[in-house]
Amino acid sequence: MSSGPLRVGCIGIGWWSDVLADAIQRSGKLEIVSCYTRSEEKRNAFAAKYRCRPAESYEAVLADSGIEAIINTTPNDVHLATTRAAAAAGKHVFLDKPIANSITDGHAITEACRAAGVVLALGYQRRRENHFRWIRRQIDAGLFGKLVNAEANISRDRLGKIDLSSWRYQAAGMPGGVMLQIGIHYVDVLEYLIGPVHAVRGHLAQLVLPGDNPDVASLILEHKNGALSTLNASYASASEYYLMNIYGKDATAYYDLHNGLRILKRGENAPTAVACANNDTLVEELEEFAAAVRGQGQHEVGGEYATLSLAVIRAGILSAREGRRVEVAEMLDADRNS
């Protein structure tokens, strides 16, 4: 078993690759050895910024015995090809969410890593935020009683800030638009706090941004435990905003970006503030990945869960298109029968 920092190669150089690379530098438990993207200019700039070697090809990265793992921030539609190649080369993979654009690809990615015996970790950092960890601990302790409802909102202002040539803002590269790109984070948090989703009703709209992709989306989620939740995601808002309210029979938690976390118990007249320090969620998930590679536990979000998370979004997209309630199992069955 190797010791020292986990030696990684970064592929798919874009703005998020820098975000993860910055987190790697804050950690010290991983080390960027090499990088590759098709643009020579981009890979040379990344290599200079993070003091690593620019590779001439992805094959060169995979052939480098000094690289133990791949940090994969390539476009969604090449996640399968890039991850399958990494697994075949014996490289562990940290893959940014979503696992893929299709459930078929999600299953194939998971199976390729399982068959090769490499760790596959998905980047779902928002569930790690201290306020959500606190809520989860209280749920587990029984403070909330029966969970009945939740409402969530994840919104950003993208007016005048998008590049329509980017795959992130095209229907082919990011089906479902804002719901797949950022809404999936809060689908994950809702499932983390309340439990798996059984069925979805979805509505999508394009109201402000140019292009061919929804910039506003709403989902009604039926959880397997009977609770209902609503999720709104928007790129057409005037500002950035996050909201997560969790309602139980015995207590309610209120979280929002501007007011932090509050708790209101049955019989009380006003909520009480809960102090939660900001934590470095990106460093935490990367260090957990590095530990898993070293055989020290498992990463929290793997391929099977990430594929189920994708299936919730795909169910919402189908619901919006056909105007009906869609069970998540229907999406998984359609994949198995295709």
Q: Is 191 left (phi over 0), alpha (psi -120 to 50) or beta?
A: alpha
108 and 134 co-located in one domain: no
What pLDDT was estimated at residue 336? 61
Residues 151 and 82 in one domain: no
97 and 147 both lie in a single domain: no
Is the CB of residue 168 less than 8 Å from the CB of residue 217?
A: no
- Residues with Cβ within 8 Å of 87's Cβ and at least 6 positions away in sequence, in order, are 93, 112, 113, 115, 116, 118, 120
225, 243, 278 - which closes a domain = 278
- On whether both 158 and 187 belong to a single domain, the answer is yes
The answer to whether residue 54 is domain-embedded is yes
CATH of the domain at 288: 3.40.50.720
272 in a structural domain: yes
Residue ranges of the chain whose pLDDT lies below 70? 1, 335-338
The model's pLDDT over 14-64, given as tens digits with 9 standing for 90+, comes to 989 999 999 999 999 999 999 999 999 999 999 999 999 999 999 999 999
d(CA 235, CA 334) in angstroms, rounded, equals 30
Q: Give me the helices (H) in the chain, please.
A: 15-27, 40-50, 58-63, 79-88, 103-116, 130-141, 178, 184-194, 281-293, 303-322, 328-336
Q: What is the dihedral of CA 176, 179, 184, 189, to 10 degrees?
A: -150
Cis peptide before 271 (omega within 30 of 0): no
Q: Where are the alpha helices (DSSP H) in 195-260?
A: none
In this structure, are 62 and 13 located in the same domain? Answer: yes
* 63 and 139 belong to one structural domain: no
Q: Is the residue at 138 inside a domain?
A: yes
9, two tokens: 């190669």
For 328-336, the CB contacts below 8 A with 24+ separation are 328/196, 328/197, 328/198, 328/199, 328/200, 329/198, 331/103, 332/103, 332/308, 334/103, 335/102, 335/103, 335/104, 335/107
- Read off the CATH number of the domain in which 152 is found: 3.30.360.10
Q: Do 91 and 185 fall into the same domain?
A: no
Q: Give dist(CA 312, CA 220) in Å, integer.
A: 11
- Would you say residue 89 lies in a domain? yes
Coil, strand or helix: which one is 201?
Answer: strand
Q: How far apart are CA 37 and CA 113, in angstroms?
A: 22
- The total domain count for the chain is 2
Q: Rounded to the nearest 10 degrees, what angle do helices 303-322 and 103-116 cross at?
A: 170
For residue 209, the enclosing domain spans 130-278
pLDDT for 248-275, tens place per residue?
A: 999 999 999 999 999 999 999 999 999 9
Claim to verify: residue 251 and residue 291 sit in the same structural domain? no
For 287-314, letters b (16+ CB in 10 Å) and e give bbbbbbbbeeeebbbbbebbbbbbbbbb
> Among all chains, which residue has been given the structure tokens 């040379």?
44
Quick check: is 330 in a domain?
A: no
Model confidence, pTM: 0.96
- Whether 10 and 44 map to the same domain: the answer is yes
Please compute, for residue 199, the number of CA atoms within 13 A of its CA located in the half-sphere on the CB side.
8
- 19: tokens are 């975000």
Residue 331 lies in a domain: no
Instruction: Indicate if 137 and 210 belong to the same structural domain.
Output: yes
Alpha-carbon distance 220 to 289, whole Å? Answer: 32
Which sign, positive or negative, has the C-alpha torsion 10, 303, 181, 228?
negative
Q: Do 210 and 81 share a domain, yes or no?
A: no
Q: Is 154 in the same domain as 254?
A: yes
Q: Is residue 193 part of a domain?
A: yes
